[in-house]
Amino acid sequence: MKSIELITYVTFGYLACSVLYLIAQVSGSQTKTIKRYLLGALIFVFALHTGAIGLRWIESYQMGIGHAPLSNLYESLVFFAWCIALALIVARFRFDMDLLVLLGLPLVTLVLASTSLMDPSIKPLIPALQSNWLIAHVITCFLGYAGFAVSFVAAILLLMARESDFFARHLPRRQTLDEIVYRSILAGFPMLTIGIITGAAWADYAWGSYWQWDPKETWSLITWLVYSAFLHARLTRGWTGRKTALLSIIGFGAVLFTYFGVNYLPGLHSYF
């Protein structure tokens, strides 16, 4: 089986998990046994996802190209979905909250499904990508994005709980959701910071300059500043609740534009 085929199965696997989590939530089937089976199914699909990434790496070496599967839009989407799934699983273990998984899995499924629109072929790296800094840069950035994705989901739930008594009765406590918003950003922010630093080192290796105000560089900085503002407001001003939830949502919007939107702008990252 090829990695492309396995990714297709993984996409449907995440979709099936989403449906199962939704059925369990709507039907009120929240016993420990059912929760354990649902989490087990998710971990199984995630393991297949991990295997698909490893298989693509092996295929690259078999073709005589031999590079980490992080070098084009197709591969980055597959890895982005993997990071979000990992963050959801970690958050599920940490906070014991299936709603995070329920709302986060559609995002994982959508990201993976979008790979069907991309060119999945494995090609030799262009000179600018032939650096170990690329691996460090991409991995740390996407791990940061995954933390922000969990914070985004928790922020949506928090706003729902604050704006509606109906949702407030059926959702986790607002204090818990607020803590998840904060903790997820606290985990993601250092990863994004390291990602920007390693990206600057990569830029110096590839283009002879640490910073050139490329659109993706600029929007990465904007994203970093939004989350810096979040942490500053939380830690020094004591912001909680609606204000920080809105900042989390704005920050994730900046993440999405940094990743997808700037691809339509001319720049050094246009090959991505």
Mean pLDDT, 10 residues at a time, the chain of 272 residues: 89 94 78 82 95 90 80 90 95 88 93 89 75 85 95 91 72 84 94 91 75 80 93 87 90 89 60 49
pLDDT at 271: 47
> What does the alpha-carbon distance between residue 92 and residue 40 come to, in Å, rounded to a whole number?
12
pLDDT at 253: 93
Place of tokens 């197709």: 74
pLDDT at 87: 95
What is the phi/psi pair of residue 190, to 5°?
-60, -35
pTM for the whole structure: 0.90
SS (H, E, C) the chain: CCHHHHHHHHHHHHHHHHHHHHHHHHHCCCCHHHHHHHHHHHHHHHHHHHHHHHHHHHHHHHCCCCCCCCCCHHHHHHHHHHHHHHHHHHHHHHHCCHHHHHHHHHHHHHHHHHHHHCCCCCCCCCHHHCCHHHHHHHHHHHHHHHHHHHHHHHHHHHHHHHHCHHHHHHCCCHHHHHHHHHHHHHHHHHHHHHHHHHHHHHHHHHHCCCCCCCHHHHHHHHHHHHHHHHHHHHHHCCCCCHHHHHHHHHHHHHHHHHHCHHHHCCCCCCCC
* HSE toward the beta carbon, residue 29, CA cutoff 13 A: 12
Q: Quick: pLDDT tens for 145-164.
A: 999 999 999 999 888 887 77
